[in-house]
Amino acid sequence: MPHLHLEYTANLTGLAVEKILLRLNNVLMVSGQFGSELDIKSRAIKLERFQVGTSLSPRGFIAVKLSLLSGRSAQVKKQLSDSLLAALQDLGDWPADLQVQLSVQVVDMDRDSYSKVVIG
């Protein structure tokens, strides 16, 4: 734990996705909220079909969902959300002809029903 899901629109063609995932994993690790770097699992999904709003103007987004085992305070979840959002904002140059929205959502996973095993 945690699980980080990153969705991004296909019109963000210059993204170095593997580097972004590593950067976000590092942000989570330095937060001090997780015992082992091995516990942080992230993945990215490129969205080929999407629509932002109702305008035909070029728009895109990166949306991060961070799933955590339940029990952390609202303050800790807000700090994690803010740190991830800041890391996204610092990714570099954004396309000048494209409005890009960045978002982070932190959700609780029920601690009592979560199961995990490590093989190997």
Give the model's pLDDT for residue 93.
Answer: 81
Say if pTM beats, i.e. exceeds, 0.85.
yes
Q: What angle do CA 37, 107, 43 make, to 5 degrees?
A: 50
Kindly report, residue by residue over 88-100, the tens digit of the pLDDT. 999 878 888 999 9
- The amino acid that residue 16 corresponds to is A
- Mean pLDDT along residues 64-75: 96
Q: What angle do CA 44, 4, 76 make, to 5 degrees?
A: 150
pLDDT band at 117 (very low <50, low <70, confident <90, very high): confident
Q: What percentage of residues in the chain have a pLDDT greater than 90?
A: 81
User: Cβ(12)–Cβ(45) under 8 Å?
Assistant: no
Give the model's pLDDT for residue 105.
Answer: 98
Domains of the chain: 3-109 (3.30.429.10)
Kindly report, residue by residue over 13-51, the tens digit of the pLDDT. 989 999 999 999 999 999 999 989 999 999 999 999 999
